[in-house]
Amino acid sequence: MRAKKAWLVAVVGVLAGCGTAAPQEPPSTVAGVLTLDKATAPEPGGEVGGASTEFASGTELSVWTKLSTTEKDVDRIAELDVDKTAKGAMYLEPRTSAWFDGFRGPFLYQELAGDIVMHARVKVAGRSGGKPKRKFSLGGLMARQPDSYATPNWMSVTTGTADKSGQVEVKYTKDGSSMPQERMVKGEWMDLVLARVGRVAVALYKEDGGTWKVGSRWPCELPEVLQWGITAYTDWDSYNTLKKDATKGNAKQVKGVPDVKMTVDFVRFLRPELPEYADPLNTASVSDEVMIKMLTPAGA
């Protein structure tokens, strides 16, 4: 994480992890304001660029690791392939599962260090087409602290059906407590960005033909190395009496009515650049407009 200059305006109530703290905003004339003309788009390539995947060939699946394999969990993936079910794309169908509080679902990831922008184009539908019908049937991007089963720490931006159909959900989980927020969207294909830059984590989304929007930004001090990747989960209602018992819910595959199929066109990793004088937690220092330019690929 970057050290900040002494003159930066203090942020009130910033937590050790991401949360809902409201930063104080300095006058717009205070030094430290990153203007749109000074902001730069994230850089492709480099050391993280090699982790990017276009899913043009089935062999590209080999660079992705299943969390259920590395951390000895139930495999909650029903179908997974690349360039087979959907040409030039990853296809994933989850079994009944959840990423909420201490509950765990499917996750495919690569371990990467430092400030990261993860950009993907995804389509989430019900298994019979249209919007998923089961509540909290979502798919998208996630970044997770490794080996954090006991005290889960992760963030995500997903799309599909949350409490209503046609939503984007942005969520940060700190020590096993999830803080989700939903945004209404239209259409099927969605561009998603999940990023960590300096002391902030950010979720962004864009509908086809639309403009980028900031889903949320959270104060964040996650470890240097995170698991960055793809998730999909579905059918929260089938957990029934287990909804308050993550230990029992995680111990076995819950039978239910899974209703998600997700297509991922690509996942690209980039490096963001944040000037030392800018405070990404402070919207008067880094506005949403500037944040979007700083965390979305040029021309995306």
**pLDDT for position 241:** 94
| φ and ψ at residue 13, rounded to 5 degrees | 70, 25
How many structural domains compose the chain? 1
**pLDDT for position 17:** 43
Nearest Cα neighbor of 119 from 9, 264, 274, 276 is 264
Nearest Cα neighbor of 107 from 74, 150, 151, 83 is 74
Query: 118: part of which helix (H) or strand (E)?
Result: strand 116-125
**pLDDT for position 37:** 96
Residue 18 lies inside a defined structural domain of this protein: no
Q: Are 80 and 58 in contact (CB under 8 A)?
A: no
Buried b (16+ CB within 10 A) or exposed e, 45-64: eeebeebbbebeeeebbeeb
HSE, CB side, 13 Å, CA atoms: give it for residue 43: 9
Residue 77 lies inside a defined structural domain of this protein: yes
Residue 176 lies inside a defined structural domain of this protein: yes
- Report d(CA 91, CA 106) in Å as an integer: 13
Structure tokens at 187: 């259409």
**pLDDT for position 184:** 96
Indicate the Cα dihedral angle 288, 275, 23, 7, nearest 10°: -150
286's CB contacts (< 8 A; 6+ apart) are 34, 278, 279, 280, 294
**pLDDT for position 300:** 84
123's CB contacts (< 8 A; 6+ apart) are 188, 189, 190, 262, 263, 265
Q: What predicted TM-score, i.e. pTM, was given to this entire model?
A: 0.89
- Report d(CA 197, CA 191) in Å as an integer: 19
DSSP track, 127-175? TTSSS--SSSEEEEEEEE-TT-SSS--EEEEEEEESSSEEEEEEEEEET
Q: Which residues, given as ranges, of the chain have pLDDT below 50?
A: 1-29, 31
How far lies 184's CA from each of 132, 164, 181, 269, in Å?
14, 9, 10, 26
Please classify residue 150 by burial: count the beta carbons closer than 10 Å to its beta carbon, then call 0-12 exposed, 13-18 middle and 19+ buried.
exposed
- Residue 166 is part of which domain span? 46-295
Q: Is 263 helix (H, G, I), strand (E, B) or coil?
A: strand
Which contacts qualify for 283-288: CB closer than 8 Å, 24 or more apart? 283/23, 283/25, 284/9, 284/25, 284/26, 284/27, 284/28, 284/30, 284/33, 285/8, 285/9, 285/26, 285/32, 285/33, 285/34, 286/34, 287/36, 288/214
**pLDDT for position 187:** 86
**Residue that has been written with the tokens 């179908």 in this structure:** 79
pLDDT tens string 182-237: 999 998 899 999 999 999 999 999 999 999 999 999 999 899 999 999 999 999 99
**pLDDT for position 11:** 33
Domain CATH code at residue 182 = 2.60.120.200
